Amino acid sequence: MSEQAGVPVQFGIMSVSDITRDPTTGITPSEQERIKATLRIATHAEEVGLDVFAIGEHHNPPFWSSSPTTFLAALAAQTERLIVSTSTTLITTNDPVRIAEEYAMLQHVSDGRMDLMLGRGNTGPVYPWFGQDIRQGLPLAIENYALLHKLWREDVVDWEGKFRTPLQGFTSTPRPLDGVAPFVWHGSIRTPEIAEQAAYYGDGFFANNIFWPKEHYQRLIELYRQRYAHYGHGAPEQAIVGLGGQVFMAAKSQDAVNRFRPYFDNAPVYGHGPSMEDFTEMTPLTVGSPQQVIDRYAAMREHYGDYQRQLFLIDHAGLPLKTVLEQLDILGSEVVPVLRKELAKDRPANVPDAPTHASRVLAEFGDGPTRQARPGANRGDNLTGDSPYQDTPAPAGSAFGLSRKGA
């Protein structure tokens, strides 16, 4: 399997894994039907030329994606260039040790064609289900990621925090592929502390701007960019930004409106709130012709600056598999090729391309050999080779406690 070549902006789709009744037929798919359909949608995303497929994490009906790494490993085995990712992985209720193990394993089996998006999720009851307190959501996100970051960068970890038992001489296995940790996006809908966290570590920030007006996300992204520069990772325009989106298309815009309206009006995700027309005006939801989608999303750089990843939500609300595959065909043949050109036009030379494992290995090692972990001879939990990371004091004014040597 070969990794997808670097591109300025990665385009893909994300799924929330809902199992929803089709309001036009009254049919609700079974869990297996929906899982298999999503796998078909994901493989078709590669077939039509998209770069990324991302799946959410949920632990309650009507969602099925309680084990994203299992699904993504199966998807990686059936694709050759698609980057498999999450949208999101719950950093608050998953143990960081388990995240470190599972996603490093996914990194190996996918030959580096993966990354992940960390977030707190949108289901309050998940906290007590996994023994946590929702009132500690932000402190959990901060502490758990500090540990995860350390586990991927130090071979032998000593750790003591507030929310889990201490670690002494612990080695997470497998070690990251080629000695380079998976790329992390920090996903947020509304929380400036998460933008700050992404900036501190020099990670990506994914503004899932599918529910609120653009002005709210402009503030979050601007905060992230400024703090990214503050922590010495580069200029504000070099920060790594991702955006969400929602579309439904037909050759004639009125046909798209007529076909999508029953799904919008009955979908639980929209809450039977604003009308479809009001929602499309306030958010990136675009229901119309391919050209309308192109015009809407080509303008995203005017609102948010140059960015690196654009994900679309297209497989929700009870839409049947056939319809979703048709939407992917339009997206891949008529929309994304034009958007690639539009978003690359006059792109400043100092704005980085979308991150890939290959590009990050090159940045870390140049043309030299990568770091391949092997068990050490002296102790079972040690590995050969020097880690390029160490504990250093956090910069003044920061809420976080790890930084990369030389960053």
Write the DSSP string, 118-143.
EE--S-TTHHHHTT--GGGHHHHHHH
Burial class of residue 237 (count of CB atoms within 10 Å of its CB; 0-12, 13-18, 19+): middle
* Angle formed at CA 46 by CA 42 and CA 49, multiple of 5 degrees: 135
In a domain, 189, yes or no: yes
Amino acid identity for residue 333 in this structure:
S
**CB 19 within 8 Å of CB 28:** yes
Cα separation, 255 vs 298, whole angstroms: 23
Residue among 336, 354, 324 at smallest CA distance from 44: 324
Q: How far apart are the first and last CA of the chain?
A: 32
Report the share of the chain in percent with pLDDT over 70. Answer: 89
- State the total domains in the chain: 1
* Confidence at residue 381, expressed as pLDDT on a 0 to 100 scale: 53
The verdict on residue 406 lying in a domain is: no
CA distance 343 to 300: 9
Least confidently predicted of 19-23, 39-43, 392-396:
392-396
Strand (E) or helix (H) holding 291? helix 290-298
At 78, the amino acid letter reads Q
pLDDT number for residue 378: 46
Average pLDDT estimate for 321-334: 98
| pLDDT value, residue 50 | 98
* Tokens 């977030």, located at residue: 119
Encode pLDDT of 192-235 as tens digits: 999 999 999 999 999 988 877 888 899 999 999 999 999 999 99
Q: What is the pLDDT of residue 61?
A: 87
140-154, 167-181, 304-318, 381-395: which range is least confident on average? 381-395
Element (H, E) at 54: strand 52-55
d(CA 228, CA 303): 19
Mode of pairing for the β-strands spanning 247-249 and 83-86: unpaired
56 in any annotated domain? yes
pLDDT tens, residue by residue, 253-272? 999 999 999 999 988 777 67
Residues paired with residue 117 on neighbouring β-strands, in sequence order: 185
Burial of 30 (C-beta count, 10 Å sphere; 0-12/13-18/19+): exposed
Mean pLDDT over 37-46 rounds to 98
Question: Which of 112-116, 320-324, 370-374, 400-404 has the lowest average pLDDT?
Answer: 400-404
Structure tokens at 143: 């502490």
- What is the rounded CA–CA span in Å between residue 257 and residue 276? 9
DSSP E strands in 275-362: the ranges are: 286-288, 309-313
* Model pLDDT, residue 5: 62
Considering the entire predicted model, what is its pTM? 0.90
Q: Which of 88, 52, 46 is nearest to 68 (CA)?
A: 88
| pLDDT tens digit sequence for 344-358 | 999 999 999 999 999
Q: What is the CATH number of the domain that holds 252?
A: 3.20.20.30
Per residue in 144-169, pLDDT (tens digit) is 999 999 999 999 999 999 999 999 99
**113 CB-near residues (< 8 Å, 6+ apart):** 1, 3, 4, 76, 79, 81, 82, 83, 84, 357
Q: Identify whether 29 is part of a domain.
A: yes
The answer to whether position 127 is within a domain reads yes
Residue 53 three-state SS:
strand
Closest CA to 225 of 52, 406, 351: 351
What is the pLDDT averaged over residues 38-63? 95
Position 376 confidence tier, pLDDT thresholds 50, 70, 90: low
Q: How far is CA 301 from CA 242, 307, 309, 337, in A?
A: 11, 7, 11, 16
Burial 118-141 (b: 16+ CB within 10 A, else e): bbbbebeebbeeeebeeeebebbb
Q: What are the percentages of helix, strand and coil residues in the chain, rounded to 5? A: 40, 15, 45
Domain membership flag for residue 17? yes
The answer to whether the beta carbons of residues 177 and 112 sit under 8 Å apart is yes
Could you read off the pLDDT of 354-371 as tens digits, one per residue? 999 999 999 999 988 888
How many percent of the chain have pLDDT more than 90?
A: 73
Q: Is the pLDDT of residue 407 over 60?
A: no
346 contacts 66 by C-beta, under 8 angstroms: no
Check residues 121 and 325 and name the one with the higher pLDDT.
325
Are 89 and 60 in contact by the 8 Å Cβ rule? The answer is no
Residue 385 lies in a domain: no
Strand, helix or coil at 248? strand
390 domain-assigned: no
Domain that residue 306 falls in? 10-365
Residue 190 has what pLDDT?
A: 78
